[in-house]
């Protein structure tokens, strides 16, 4: 008895010590911004009567995936650009209608061969850290992207694919960017977040840690990033260089924006329902519709141009090295039903490698395949795939008709099982293997896959080159398909300065891709957000990222 008593006491003493130790630490880890619940934001402006009527408030958005970095030069993914758009400006800006406008540059001039571009820069811009924006900043940002510090990124592939040479500082406010190859789309790319401009002082100061301490010129400043939890940005009150197509001028309306990382769609919905977040990205469709009908929320959707949601089929590996098998896969999927089941009225079926809202979209390539299970079966039998043992799976020479699909379910949870179901109905044995992006990339490099999920938002079909040109086999062109005709069309489309010829190139490419059944089209990515009625002026940028600069919260 005594022993137990003392043992018990010692535990109490120990826990007391731990509590004291922990209590001492607590204030340091508590950040004031966390304390502010989003719902109270709407009341906040009442105190600040002098401020403009719509100004103020905290907008909390529930986002699905945590960015890996906030260094624009190092970024690849959607979840990164989503936040970068508020922190950074680019040389040019692109309006939702696709027209080019001044950004950090007021004027620009390509040379005749579209390989050198001279920009005249604004003189009144400062970075969040107080550094003045000059030609040096442009050079530092672009040189940073192609430097060893960046392993691989969207910006790096844009610059390197077009053989970036150097950025020449002509004077403080004039800069020339030089490429060894013709790069007719550079001006459009210069408007992207990937090529936005970082503070040269911050790049130097933070080095490897810059991705966690981004400093730009955008309408919001970076405040903090709590891993697995949230990213907080606050209004840049000096901001006075908004693009001319924006709805207002001067600083942003919101005091603060909190990107809350909530990886489960169900969690985002619950948090939205309870008012803990005011905007939920990618809500479950059924709930979103129900909530919108009850007037408790608005659904904001954006039909994305570019490459719709497709599965790239590995044509370099059995069984999909057989065109009949690939065709059968496309025919086995009922895209209309798939879009309807997975996204309800928020999804649109897709039948081609380019979505209908894209410049250069071709109707003929879109018309080649429609759901036809019998025809799929016929094609498979023609190639010798029959279900000989009655288990519903087709075999040939004792081999099962196996589809290997390594994938990150965070991207595809809405439809992956549904899609697998269609293929199973046609007699395929679908092996879905869930993993993260990094692991998936390894599997792709090793060639262990049949399907690769892909979508790419872009106003034109230019990503086709990255995805299908044979020079990218082993790193982007996951179809492992080589055709000189296709390569020629894609290469020309990328460098051709004549718009009509360029369009024709892409039409040719679309048709070759679809005739060879290199992709299984599924649906057009309809980015959707659930917003509280209090959130006003919610609009999208050209690529479907929320344009947070113009958003305000009603009182």
State yes or no: residue 3 binds other proteins (CB under 8 A).
yes
Vertex 509 angle, CA 508 and 513, to 5°: 120
* Distance separating the N- and C-terminal Cα atoms of the chain: 65
* Site for other proteins, residues 334 to 353, rule: CB under 8 A: 334, 337-338, 340-341
Among positions 97, 148, 208, 294, the unique one binding other proteins when judged by CB under 8 A: 208
Least separation in angstroms between residue 510's CB and other proteins is 26
Show contacts with other proteins in window 305-334 (CB under 8 A): 334
In the complex, the smallest distance separating the C-beta of residue 104 from other proteins, rounded to whole angstroms, is: 28
**Is there binding between residue 151 and other proteins (CB under 8 A)?**
yes
- The DSSP line for 272-314 is HHTTS-SEEES--HHHHHHHHHTTS-EEEEEE--EEEEEEEE-
Closer residue to other proteins, CB minimum distance, 121 or 346 = 346
22 binds other proteins (CB under 8 A): yes
- Residue pair 215/209 in contact (Cβ under 8 Å)? The answer is no
Element (DSSP H or E) covering residue 235: strand 230-235
Please, which residue, 173 or 433, has the CB nearer to other proteins?
A: 433
| Block residue for tokens 């699909």 | 405
Q: Residue 264, interface with other proteins (CB under 8 A)?
A: yes
Q: Which residues make beta-bridge pairs with 256?
A: 58, 234
What distance lies between CA 313 and its chain's CA centroid? 21
User: For residue 84, which of 97, 74, 99 has the smallest C-alpha distance?
Assistant: 74
CB of 25 to other proteins, least distance (A): 6
Which residue in the set 65, 83, 177, 265 belongs to the binding site for other proteins (CB under 8 A)? Answer: 265
Q: Using CB under 8 A, which of 381, 437, 471, 537 touches other proteins?
A: 437
43 binds other proteins (CB under 8 A): no
Residue from 112, 111, 118, 215 nearest 167 by CA? 118
Residue 175: helix, strand or coil by DSSP?
strand
CA angle 318, 454, 79 (to 5 degrees): 145
Residue from 174, 425, 470, 504 binding other proteins (CB under 8 A)? 425
Helices 499-515 & 484-495, crossing angle to 10 degrees? Answer: 150
Cα–chain center distance at 515: 28
Least distance to other proteins, CB of residue 358, Å = 26
Closest to other proteins by CB, 109 or 209: 209
Q: How far is CA 250 from the centre of its chain?
A: 28
Query: Measured from the CB atom, is 156 or 503 closer to other proteins?
Result: 156
Binding span for other proteins by CB under 8 A among 26-34, 110-118, 119-127, 163-171:
26-34
User: Backbone phi, then psi, for 232, in 5-degree steps?
Assistant: -115, 135
CB of 31 to other proteins, least distance (A): 9
Site map for other proteins, 162-201, x if CB under 8 A? ----------------------------------------
Nearest Cα neighbor of 454 from 307, 263, 303 is 307
Q: Which residues from 465-494 bind other proteins, rule CB under 8 A?
A: 474-475
What DSSP character marks residue 242? -
**How near is the Cβ of 299 to other proteins at its closest, in Å?**
16
**Which one of the spans 134-142, 313-321, 424-432, 514-522 is the region binding other proteins (CB under 8 A)?**
424-432
**How many angstroms separate the CA atoms of 242 and 251, rounded?**
8
Q: Which of 30, 129, 249, 485 binds other proteins (CB under 8 A)?
A: 30
Q: Which is nearer to other proteins, 248 or 433 (CB)?
A: 433
Residue 76 sits in the site that holds other proteins (CB under 8 A): yes
Q: At closest approach, how far in Å is the CB of 200 from other proteins? A: 21
Count of residues that bind other proteins according to CB under 8 A:
84
**CB neighbour class for 50 (10 Å; exposed up to 12, middle 13-18, buried from 19):** exposed
| Nearest approach, Cβ of residue 416 and other proteins (Å) | 7
147 binds other proteins (CB under 8 A): no
Q: Is 205 in the site for other proteins (CB under 8 A)?
A: no
Burial class (CB in 10 A: 0-12, 13-18, 19+), 165: middle
Q: Within positions 280 to 309, which residues make up the interface with other proteins, using CB under 8 A? A: 284, 286-287, 290
SS (H, E, C) 349-403: ECCCCCCCCCCCCCHHHHCCCCCCHHHHHHHHHHCCCECCCCCCCCEECCEECEE
The single residue among 41, 138, 271, 513 that binds other proteins, judged by CB under 8 A, is: 271
DSSP state of 477: -
Alpha-carbon torsion (174, 177, 182, 186), positive or negative: negative
The stretch near other proteins (CB under 8 A) out of 138-146, 243-251, 279-287, 455-463 is: 279-287
* Residues between 214 and 233 that touch other proteins (CB under 8 A): 226-230
* Footprint of other proteins on 381-420 (CB under 8 A): 392, 409, 416-418, 420
Tell me how far apart the alpha carbons of residues 286 and 293 are, in angstroms, rounded to a whole number: 11
Which residues of 25-78 form beta strands (DSSP E)? Answer: 58-63
- Least distance in angstroms from the C-beta of 196 to other proteins: 20
Q: Name the residue among 393, 416, 287, 275 with its Cα closest to residue 346.
A: 287
Nearest approach in angstroms of CB 390 to other proteins is 13
46 belongs to the binding site for other proteins (CB under 8 A): no
């Amino acid at each position: 008895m005594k022993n137990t008593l003392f043992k018990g006491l010692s535990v109490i003493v120990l826990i007391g010590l731990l509590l004291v130790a922990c209590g001492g630490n607590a204030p340091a880890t508590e950040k004031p911004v966390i304390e502010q619940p989003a719902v109270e934001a709407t009341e906040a402006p009442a105190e600040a009567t002098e401020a403009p009527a719509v100004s103020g408030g905290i907008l909390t958005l529930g986002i699905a995936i945590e960015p890996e970095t906030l260094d624009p030069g190092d970024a690849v993914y959607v979840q990164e650009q989503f936040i970068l758009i508020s922190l950074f400006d680019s040389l040019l800006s692109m309006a939702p209608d696709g027209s080019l406008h001044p950004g950090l540059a007021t004027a620009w001039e390509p040379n005749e061969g579209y390989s050198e571009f001279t920009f005249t820069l604004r003189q009144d811009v400062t970075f969040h850290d107080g550094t003045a924006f000059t030609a040096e900043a442009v050079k530092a940002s672009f040189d940073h992207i192609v430097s060893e510090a960046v392993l691989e990124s969207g910006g790096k592939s844009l610059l390197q694919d077009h053989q970036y040479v150097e950025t020449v500082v002509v004077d403080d406010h004039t800069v020339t960017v030089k490429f060894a190859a013709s790069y007719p789309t550079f001006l459009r790319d210069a408007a992207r977040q990937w090529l936005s401009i970082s503070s040269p002082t911050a790049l130097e100061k933070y080095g490897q840690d810059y991705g966690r301490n981004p400093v730009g010129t955008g309408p919001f400043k970076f405040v903090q990033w709590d891993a697995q939890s949230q990213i907080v940005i606050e209004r840049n009150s000096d901001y006075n260089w908004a693009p001319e197509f924006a709805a207002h001028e001067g600083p942003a309306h919101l005091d603060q924006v909190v990107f809350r990382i909530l990886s489960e769609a169900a969690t985002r919905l619950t948090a939205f329902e309870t008012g803990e977040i005011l905007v939920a990205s990618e809500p479950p469709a059924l709930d979103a519709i129900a909530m919108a009908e009850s007037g408790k929320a608005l659904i904001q959707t954006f039909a994305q141009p570019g490459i719709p949601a497709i599965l790239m089929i590995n044509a370099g590996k059995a069984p999909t090295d057989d065109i009949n098998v690939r065709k059968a896969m496309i025919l086995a999927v009922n895209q209309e039903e798939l879009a309807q089941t997975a996204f309800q009225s928020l999804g649109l079926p897709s039948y081609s490698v380019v979505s209908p809202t894209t410049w250069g979209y071709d109707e003929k390539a879109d018309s080649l395949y429609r759901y036809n299970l019998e025809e799929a079966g016929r094609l498979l039998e023609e190639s010798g795939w029959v279900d000989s043992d009655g288990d519903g799976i087709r075999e040939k020479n004792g081999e099962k008709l196996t589809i290997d699909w390594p994938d990150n379910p965070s991207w595809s949870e809405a439809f992956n099982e549904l899609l697998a179901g269609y293929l199973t109905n046609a007699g395929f044995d679908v092996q879905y293997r869930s993993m993260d992006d990094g692991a998936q990339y390894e599997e792709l490099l090793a060639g262990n896959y049949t399907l690769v999920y892909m979508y790419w938002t872009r106003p034109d079909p230019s990503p086709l080159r990255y995805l299908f040109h044979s020079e990218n086999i082993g790193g982007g062109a996951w179809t492992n398909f080589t055709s000189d005709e296709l390569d020629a069309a894609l290469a020309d489309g990328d460098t051709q300065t004549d718009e009509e010829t360029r369009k024709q190139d892409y039409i040719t490419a679309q048709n070759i891709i679809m005739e060879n059944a290199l992709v299984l089209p599924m649906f057009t990515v309809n980015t959707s957000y659930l917003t509280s009625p209090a959130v006003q002026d919610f609009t999208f940028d050209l690529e479907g990222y929320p344009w947070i600069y113009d958003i305000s919260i009603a009182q």
